Chains A and B, each alone.
Chain A
Amino acid sequence: MVDAPTAGSEENAADAFLQGGPSLRNASGPYFGNYGGRWMPESLIAALDEVQDTFEKAKADPEFIAQLKDLNKNYSGRPSLLTEAKRFSEHAGGARIFLKREDLNHTGSHKINNVLGQALLAKRMGKTRVIAETGAGQHGVASATAAALLGLECVVYMGAEDCRRQALNVARMQLLGATVVPVTNGSQTLKDAINDALRDWVSNVEHTHYLLGTAAGAHPFPAMVRYFHEVIGEEARGQILDQTGKLPDAICACIGGGSNAIGLFHAFLDDASVKIYGFEAGGEGVETGRHAAAISLGRPGVLHGARSYLMQDEDGQTIESHSISAGLDYPSVGPEHSYLADIGRVTYEAVTDTEAMDAFSLLCRTEGIIPAIESSHALAGAIKIGKRLTEGKETPSDVTVIVNLSGRGDKDVETAAAWFNMLDEEGHVKGTTLSTRKPKGPAERTAEAAVDVNEDQN
């Protein structure tokens, strides 16, 4: 492997694509150009082989495919809608913006697609326990959900900083029967949660499956996680053809590890007329150094088992990422995205916290949909792309753009309330502390119950 991708191979791949060369779909790994692979301890290689083998067999097994389809339809609620955002579109140069509604899936994000697939594989491997990392808590909640559904023990590693930012999701996981382990190492965010999950996996690999939540990590995870999310793009492609009679001009998604994005992109990779955009978390602005834009500003390195773009210092130490969005707060990115960036098939740009929160507010007020802050990065990007593609056009509504609304924003209400200055000095929503009645709560009910018991005894 060379430290930087060779210019020659990039040009060849891009040329081949433009000339109708080999398909970019269904890349199987372990390598995506110079990226991917297995930069992992030998102790885990046998487990990775087992996952790969089980996955390959399952893909070829009609029974597995039927099982997954059934869960997607009757448990997650697929297909998810493709909703035209008419009032929002007015702010995007008049391009027609369509939202792929992954927020409407059970558990509120795209994450359920992958966890159902992997939890089924865990059962096939005879594993009784799954572990997961989580940033925003969406993957943790989805994992806890799948574990409850399929009768698996579930332990979720979550950075202590993220536990604070996403306390509601911690409670959700616990309600679903999972154990949440707050991680206090390093930056106390997603990357450190992955480190601890890997330490758990290497110690308990015999009966434990690591349910990795994004299209990153060692082979076969990038290709496997993409496979379980491909349904997003397949549905969206059919739905947009039904609704508009043509392919979209552009598709947009947010990029943390990149699983919702690769799931949407995959169906369109070979449609040369469709421009594809990935939006990374620009944090406080890429010029400030406080961001999570691995492709825009990183350089190739290895982290968590894959070679990919990575935010690192001159010594190869991982740089802490920063984003208002816990789910995008990751210093690397899935290896297939690094490849798609190098060959020029997908354009990756950074969106700042401010731009994302403006788009968050706009979607709330124009469409009645509260988006996840992660997805708000894609919405902010779509506004830019809509304006760019309609510039100078007589009928801007000829331009159509699909945005992956990867999750709903219920979990982000507290962060948003703070951002939009809706909280008082004590952190309460302004105007909610005026009641003079004695608060009613669980404690009071317990007291009443105790009285009832005493009465029975009498």
Chain B
Amino acid sequence: MTEEFASKSAAAIDRAKAEGRSALVGYLPAGYPTVKESIEAGIALARNGADLIEIGIPYSDPVMDGPVIQAATTEAIANGFRVANVFDVVAGITAATDAAVLVMTYWNPVMRMGVDEFSRRLAEAGGAGLITPDLIPDEAAEWFEASDKYGLDRVFLVAPSSTPERLDMTVKASRGFVYAVSIMGVTGTRQSVSSSAEEVVARAHGAGAERVCVGLGVSNPDHVREIAAYADGVIVGTALVAALRDGGVDAVGQLTKNLSAGLGRAAAEA
């Protein structure tokens, strides 16, 4: 991983490490159900134990998302979400909390605004960087340039299916952390965490990644505990979106608190 400057994501993960635990990463879509409530929900995430926050940009064709996140992002767009609102959400959360705030986005909205323009505005809003589910390093020349220029983290994904060559290349291209996809599939809650997750984390560490976070299908404190044993961070998405849908901002705070109990924080504090 390249570290020419202080990565906000890396710093947030390292703070958790210093407490003897893995980091908790929470995902919520921008503008769901409204821009204002998505800021409140993001703040609730941070105040209840999330070290990093991923803010998703609602997109018309979310091929990596399961039904819960699809429904939420579709509603956000129907409620008038505009891509530029994501900067308000990032700024709103970073102003109120210490969490590192990344944007998770499919690539076309970034391309449409212009990669440089998008990056400039994200940096201005206090954002840490981008997680790019449908952008592989092979196609990311413009993003390399812009992320270096504005000091943003580049979080690429690695999967159980990644070959050693691709894993190595992707780890080198990433900055902040590497996002390890736990299973072959789309976002959504699942009964158990796939055993392939541990293997992919070990392979990413072996390829030189200092920080590897695991996402997809992580929804309860048991999953968190299991993954925290081998990964530097645990990413929860669908379960939080469902909590926001069913119980509003308070439910997001409560679930985050429950999830963070799985990180071993109490043990570290004792």
Nearest A residue to B66 via CB reads A199
B109 at the interface (CB under 8 A from A): yes
Residues A45 and B166 in contact in the complex (CB < 8 Å), given A39-B139, A205-B161: yes
Measured between alpha carbons, how far is A317 from B106 in the docked complex, in Å? 10
Nearest B residue to A300 via CB reads B111
Nearest A residue to B70 via CB reads A185
Residues A316 and B64 in contact in the complex (CB < 8 Å), given A40-B136, A45-B136, A203-B184: no
Is the CB–CB distance between B111 and A40 below 8 Å? Answer: no
Measured between alpha carbons, how far is A205 from B161 in the docked complex, in Å? 9
A380-427 residues at the B interface, CB under 8 angstroms: none
Flag B126-159 by CB within 8 Å of A: 1 or 0 each: 0000000111101101100000000000001111
Measured between alpha carbons, how far is A417 from B115 in the docked complex, in Å? 49
Is the CB–CB distance between A43 and B181 below 8 Å? Answer: yes
Residues of chain A with a CB closer than 8 A to B108's CB = 301-303, 310, 312, 316, 318
A431 at the interface (CB under 8 A from B): no
Is the CB–CB distance between B107 and A302 below 8 Å? Answer: yes
Is the CB–CB distance between B83 and A316 below 8 Å? Answer: yes
Choose, from B2-10, B55-63, B228-236, the stretch at the interface.
B55-63
Is the CB–CB distance between B161 and A45 below 8 Å? Answer: yes
Is the CB–CB distance between B159 and A42 below 8 Å? Answer: yes
Residues A316 and B112 in contact in the complex (CB < 8 Å), given A199-B186, A203-B186: yes
Is the CB–CB distance between A317 and B60 below 8 Å? Answer: yes
A310-342 residues at the B interface, CB under 8 angstroms: 310, 312, 314-318
Is the CB–CB distance between A43 and B161 below 8 Å? Answer: yes
Flag B179-191 by CB within 8 Å of A: 1 or 0 each: 0010011100000
Flag B185-210 by CB within 8 Å of A: 1 or 0 each: 11000000000000000000000000
A1-24 residues at the B interface, CB under 8 angstroms: 1-3
Residues of chain B with a CB closer than 8 A to A225's CB = none
Cβ 8 A contact of A43, one of B74, B114, B141, B157: B157
Residues of A within 8 Å of B, CB-based: how many? 38
What are 27 A-to-B residue pairs whose CB atoms are below 8 Å? A3-B114, A38-B136, A39-B139, A42-B156, A42-B162, A42-B166, A44-B161, A46-B159, A46-B163, A46-B166, A49-B163, A192-B61, A195-B62, A198-B63, A199-B186, A202-B184, A203-B186, A301-B111, A301-B112, A302-B111, A303-B61, A304-B63, A314-B112, A316-B83, A316-B109, A317-B59, A318-B60
Is the CB–CB distance between A206 and B184 below 8 Å? Answer: yes
Is the CB–CB distance between A45 and B142 below 8 Å? Answer: no
Residues of chain B with a CB closer than 8 A to A38's CB = 136, 138-139
Nearest A residue to B138 via CB reads A38
Cβ 8 A contact of A202, one of B64, B107, B136: B64
Is the CB–CB distance between B184 and A43 below 8 Å? Answer: yes
Q: Which A-B residue pairs are the 5 nearest by beta carbons?
A: A316-B112, A316-B109, A43-B159, A46-B161, A203-B185
A41 at the interface (CB under 8 A from B): yes
Residues of chain B with a CB closer than 8 A to A204's CB = 184
Measured between alpha carbons, how far is A37 from B141 in the docked complex, in Å? 13
B82 at the interface (CB under 8 A from A): yes
Measured between alpha carbons, how far is A40 from B112 in the docked complex, in Å? 17
Binding site for B on A (CB under 8 A): 1-3, 37-47, 49, 185-186, 191-192, 195, 198-199, 202-206, 301-304, 310, 312, 314-318
Residues of chain B with a CB closer than 8 A to A318's CB = 60-61, 108
Smallest beta-carbon distance A318→chain B, Å: 4
Cβ 8 A contact of A199, one of B63, B139, B158: B63
Residues of chain B with a CB closer than 8 A to A202's CB = 63-64, 184-186
B220 at the interface (CB under 8 A from A): no
Residues of chain A with a CB closer than 8 A to B139's CB = 1, 37-39
Flag B64-95 by CB within 8 Å of A: 1 or 0 each: 10100010001001000011000000000000
Q: Which of A42, A47, A49, A301 has the most CB of B within 10 A?
A: A42
Q: Which of A2, A192, A302 has the most CB of B within 10 A?
A: A302
Measured between alpha carbons, how far is A37 from B138 in the docked complex, in Å? 9
Residues of chain A with a CB closer than 8 A to B156's CB = 42
Residues of chain A with a CB closer than 8 A to B141's CB = 1
Is the CB–CB distance between B64 and A186 below 8 Å? Answer: no
Measured between alpha carbons, how far is A315 from B113 in the docked complex, in Å? 7
B170 at the interface (CB under 8 A from A): yes
Measured between alpha carbons, how far is A40 from B64 in the docked complex, in Å? 10
Flag B4-19 by CB within 8 Å of A: 1 or 0 each: 0000000000000000
B243 at the interface (CB under 8 A from A): no
B242 at the interface (CB under 8 A from A): no
Residues A316 and B162 in contact in the complex (CB < 8 Å), given A42-B156, A43-B157: no
Measured between alpha carbons, how far is A199 from B186 in the docked complex, in Å? 6
Measured between alpha carbons, how far is A185 from B73 in the docked complex, in Å? 12
B110 at the interface (CB under 8 A from A): yes
Is the CB–CB distance between B111 and A317 below 8 Å? Answer: no
Measured between alpha carbons, how far is A2 from B143 in the docked complex, in Å? 11
Residues of chain B with a CB closer than 8 A to A203's CB = 184-186
Is the CB–CB distance between A317 and B109 below 8 Å? Answer: yes
Is the CB–CB distance between B82 and A315 below 8 Å? Answer: yes
Q: Which of B60, B70, B133, B163 has the most CB of A within 10 A?
A: B60
Nearest B residue to A196 via CB reads B63
Residues A41 and B77 in contact in the complex (CB < 8 Å), given A301-B108, A316-B111: no
Measured between alpha carbons, how far is A255 from B260 in the docked complex, in Å? 53
Residues of chain A with a CB closer than 8 A to B162's CB = 42, 45-46
